[in-house]
Structure 1
Amino acid sequence: MTKRSREECGDSTGQNIKRRIELPEDLFCPIMKRLPLIDVIRAKVVSHACNSSAASVLSSDSHTRFMKSPWLILPPKQLGEDGYTSMGRGRIMNLEENRVYDLKKTTSDLVSEFGCIGSSHGWLILSDHKSLTPFLFNPFTEARIQLPSLKPLFGIAGIEEGEGDDARTCKILCGDDEWVTVWKQEVRQSFVSKAFLTAEPTGGDFAVVLLCYYNNTEEVLYYKNGGDRSWIQFCGLGVPNFIECCDIMCCGNNLYVLGPGWISTWDLGGDRPEKRRTIEDFLPEESFERPNFFRYRDYLVESNGEILLVFRFVPENNSGITAEIFDVFKLDLEENKGVRVETLGDDRSLFLGQNQSVSISTKDFSRCKGDSIYFTHDTLGFHLYCGTDMGIYSFKDREVSPITQFSSERCLKPDQVPRWLIPSSC
């Protein structure tokens, strides 16, 4: 197509684009019904008419279950000649639609440049390795919400990027005037192990919770939108350090912090978090043992108003092939103990992730398997084959099956592992 013909089609002249956008809303709906789901979502930010029409289409019975379905973000397939730069675009798969889309180039480049430290309520939490300033990013609408910098809290005086043969590294100046050389990916991973939102951020009433490691201890940081634009340190509230913290999660205004043999609850309803109580030794010792397996990771999940603890075991001689076992317990806050769960129910499945774990009803999603756990290896770290460690664990059969045809893909960059992106409506 020539430049002139493109202009005649409205591809490069603002006037033609404006006329196209100002079409009556009743003409947009039939057009949008023919578009792929992800394009309908993107169209919401084009204009008021597009937003109204897209919202109407997405709320229809034919699109609602797709819109609410969990998504799986997949990294690019290849690396460049330098063995570091990603080639091609990242991808995103809608499980209910069973369809894979390429991310927009601008979105894929942004996620590649600013490593993802978490995803929650349909948003990604990204952070620049140079400034350690996190921000929220919606991969569909490309909306951004800036968060305060973490650098002052971590005692970092400066960060310098390497050049030439050292381009993949950077040097960190710590408080003791000592420069430490690390891989760029490690800058984020060394300080933030988990990040999530307490609510969908569009309405403005949300908070961000980080599980961090610095000053030789683990720490929980809390930022409430609309406050004084600063991070609150839980240890700064006069409570013991969170040594060996396993997982954290929110349920309503309550924050749950899981450690080895203990769990503490916090009230997030006010301007500052307030500790309620700590429960210790609430599980029998045999809960943590499996012959020929070691406990790889612990998860907290809210399911129908109940708090579930999920223990994930992998073979001691694990070679990258999924052969995993999951034990689930329900937290009984009245009896201060955990009760073993033998089945999730045919209408319930869990989606586990380092960033956010959720429970969904399979009645709403025909392609999701009931009484099952969907998991990925989204732990930040240098695991070349971490992309192979994802699948569906069946409670009934006690077996693991692939999630998709991508379950055997290698994760080529340690900070671009498969991640769940789960809308708030799930």
Structure 2
Amino acid sequence: MDGKSRSGDWALLSDWALDLIFRKLPSISDCLCFSLVCKPWFSFVSNNYDVLQQRINSSSIEELPLLINFTDEDICFAAYPLNRCVGSSHGWLAFQQRGFDSFFLFNPFSGETINLPNLKIYTDKVTLSKNPSTNPHDFEVAALCKNLDRGESLAILKPGNKTWFRISFRGRRPCDVIYYNERYYVVFTEGSIFSIDNTDNPTVRHEIAPPPSMYTVLEFYLQFYLVKTTTNELLRVERSPPSPSSSVKICKLVTSPKTQTSMFVDVDNLGDEALFVCHNGSTSVSASKFPGCKPNSIYYMDRSYTQSRFDNFHYSVDHINLQDRSSHTQFSFFQKFNIAPRALWIIPTPKVTTTS
């Protein structure tokens, strides 16, 4: 059988067979590649757009995080050279202009841009409640802000609003924020965690995790991150440099069945989860769905200043095996000090459209 005959056989698969294949594809990228096999397969996807949209909206479909290292030649940096990248969430990047004159979201996979009301204050981290590509009128933006006069705070932008709602932390220093189960969770540099009610006036705060016992000594060395797993559990990842493996500690949020109070408890094993952690945005995937991805592991991206190369930061991606506490650096690279965005993890979330 020649090549043309084999190609014809694939093109003549029934819709029933194509549907079986399509529903077993593990990632959005695979779904998009499926539509490029041949014209009949593209027609199948176009005629079943609602199924594809449902797959994208479904929490069961996962993408392996990509590492973006912004350089002078990078498309995002070339388009926005005067902006700082201040977050990666749901496949979108948040940018703030150095002079605080603009604030916007950018999807590097679809090219979409969403302008936000100006937040005329230094922003350290941005997270989104939902994916704007699939929830264009029902997503919120939360930003950790720093101000020498007013202290550090959390700014929240509600759908349709043109002004930010500010929550002051009164001298405490937040290091990460996440939207989880209709609430905001903020972890501070000493390791304590507050939850914030997501209402029209989100001022009710509850402390659900006290700081580690040695935080007064190690506060300036500990690093904390909040990550949601694929099984919808909230984790606090604690790391004390310079040793990336033995100094990692993980806790998860649980609710007492008797008192209905929330607390964080230690976790020794992540099972099939693989965490991708960095300052600008962390995520988790099911390792078994991606060949080469190791379960019960953390892929941790760290940044350090290099005195020998005055104008550079040194980035490294370390794989940490939580079972035997081993670690090794998968790769490392240098980034120019004056480049506005940082290297970060991002989940591909293209906007799917059909042609008439």
Say if 1:359 and 1:280 are closer, same or farther in 2 by CA, change over 3 A.
closer
Is the Cα–Cα contact under 8 Å of residues 349 and 373 in structure 1 kept in the other structure?
yes
Q: Where do residues 252-401 of structure 1 align in structure 2 (5 Å cutoff)?
A: 252-259=181-188, 260=190, 262-268=192-198, 270-279=199-208, 281=210, 285=213, 295-303=221-229, 304-315=231-242, 325-334=247-256, 337-345=263-271, 347-377=272-302, 386-401=313-328
Which of 328, 340, 343 matches 1:415? 340
Q: Where do residues 145-160 of structure 1 align in structure 2 (5 Å cutoff)?
A: 145-151=114-120, 154=121
Determine if the alignment matches structure 1 residue 224 to structure 2 residue 162: no
d(CA) in 1 for partners of 2:80, 2:183: 30
Structure 1's unaligned 5+ residue stretches are 1-36, 77-85, 91-104, 155-190
Normalising by structure 1, we get a TM-score of 0.60
**Paired residues, number:** 301
d(CA) in 1 for partners of 2:48, 2:303: 32
Say if 1:252 and 1:363 are closer, same or farther in 2 by CA, change over 3 A.
same
Partner SS state of residue 220, structure 1: strand
Deviations 1:196-249, CA, capped at 9 Å, x for gaps: 11110122210110001112511100001212x1111113xxxx5261223211
Structure 2's unaligned 5+ residue stretches are 1-28, 37-41, 351-356
C-alpha deviation, 1:130, in angstroms: 3.1
C-alpha deviation, 1:329, in angstroms: 1.4
Partner SS state of residue 124, structure 2: strand
Structure-1 residue corresponding to 2:65? 70
Is the Cα–Cα contact under 8 Å of residues 313 and 324 in structure 1 kept in the other structure?
no
C-alpha deviation, 1:417, in angstroms: 2.6
C-alpha deviation, 1:305, in angstroms: 2.7
Is the Cα–Cα contact under 8 Å of residues 91 and 349 in structure 2 kept in the other structure?
yes
- The CA RMSD measured in Å over matched residues stands at 4.0
Partner SS state of residue 279, structure 1: strand
The residue type paired with residue 223 of structure 1 is L
Which of 115, 133, 137 matches 2:102? 133
The residue type paired with residue 234 of structure 1 is I
Structure-2 residue corresponding to 1:143? 112
d(CA) in 2 for partners of 1:142, 1:400: 36
Which of 175, 179, 186 matches 1:250? 179
